[in-house]
């Protein structure tokens, strides 16, 4: 397995300040901006097709309604996932995991795959996502980073594909974060960069793994976090953040 090299900026759901989130258009936009890594969310349809989508409900980002977990892929494939963002994206679809990975590979990027299971499907979502991903992802390229707020999904990732690195998502600082980081053999700590304090960052730095902060669109906040020791920033406008933090050494290895 090739060494994982994480750049200083990761495009959040593609480059979702400029294109509808978690769509192929957003991935292409990130690539056009020269972004090296993107983060995308993986869910399952009712008939267990892995798609790139964040919410439990279809309403916010499509012209459909209802829960993803209760909707077959045939119906989801017909929805418009771009018009809500702007008229120029009319007709954009919810991509399958396969379609998204093919674009990411073709455009020379790497990816943070966040397992975003619907309630009760934590194991199945991780298993299906990793089954598809390991068959598609080239063996001679650095592996994706796997992350999830679901500890059950991370457990499953260890069982299914222990060789692929894992990121532990941490929304709020808690005293037992280190126990979980060690349990999951976390390669990165993916923290809420909008609420974290310098004191908490100093505690995370003791773990001696890269700290990735989400979701930062304010250049001043990004620079402050980098000065505290954060390794990488997730951003909706990754080009803006990248241009503002050029003075920091580029890229971290894990």
Residues marked as catalytic: 12, 54
The span from the CA of 212 to the CA of 195, in Å, is 13
The span from the CA of 178 to the CA of 215, in Å, is 22
CA triple 87-97-253, angle to 5 deg: 105
The span from the CA of 139 to the CA of 2, in Å, is 9
The span from the CA of 143 to the CA of 159, in Å, is 16
3-state SS string for 145-195: EEEECCHHHHHHHHHHCCCCCEEEEECCCCCCHHHHHHHCCCCEEEEECCC
Among positive and negative, which fits the CA dihedral 191, 195, 201, 202? negative
Do 171 and 149 meet the contact criterion of CB atoms below 8 Å apart? yes
Among 90, 94, 77, CA closest to 40: 94
């Amino acid at each position: 397995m090739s060494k994982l090299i994480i750049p200083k900026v990761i495009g959040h759901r593609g480059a979702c300040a400029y294109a509808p989130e978690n769509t192929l258009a957003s991935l292409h936009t990130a690539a056009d901006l020269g972004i090296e890594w993107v983060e995308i969310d993986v869910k399952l349809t009712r008939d267990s097709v892995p798609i790139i989508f964040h919410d439990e409900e279809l309403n916010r980002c499509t012209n459909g309604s209802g829960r993803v977990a209760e909707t077959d892929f045939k119906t989801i494939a017909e929805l418009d996932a771009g018009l809500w963002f702007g008229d120029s994206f009319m007709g954009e679809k919810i991509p399958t995991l396969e379609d998204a990975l093919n674009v990411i590979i073709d455009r020379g990027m790497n990816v943070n795959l966040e397992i975003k299971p619907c309630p009760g499907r934590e194991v199945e979502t991780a298993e299906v996502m990793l089954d598809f991903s390991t068959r598609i992802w080239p063996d001679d390229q650095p592996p994706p980073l796997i992350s999830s707020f679901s500890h059950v999904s991370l457990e499953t990732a260890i069982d299914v594909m222990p060789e692929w690195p894992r990121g532990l998502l941490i929304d709020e600082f808690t005293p037992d974060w280190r126990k979980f980081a060690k349990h999951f053999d976390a390669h990165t700590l993916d923290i809420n960069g909008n609420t974290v304090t310098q004191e908490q960052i100093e505690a995370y730095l003791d773990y001696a793994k890269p700290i990735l902060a989400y979701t930062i669109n304010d250049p001043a906040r990004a620079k402050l976090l980098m000065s505290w020791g954060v390794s990488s920033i997730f951003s909706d406008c990754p080009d803006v953040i990248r241009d503002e933090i050029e003075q920091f050494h580029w890229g971290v290895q894990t």
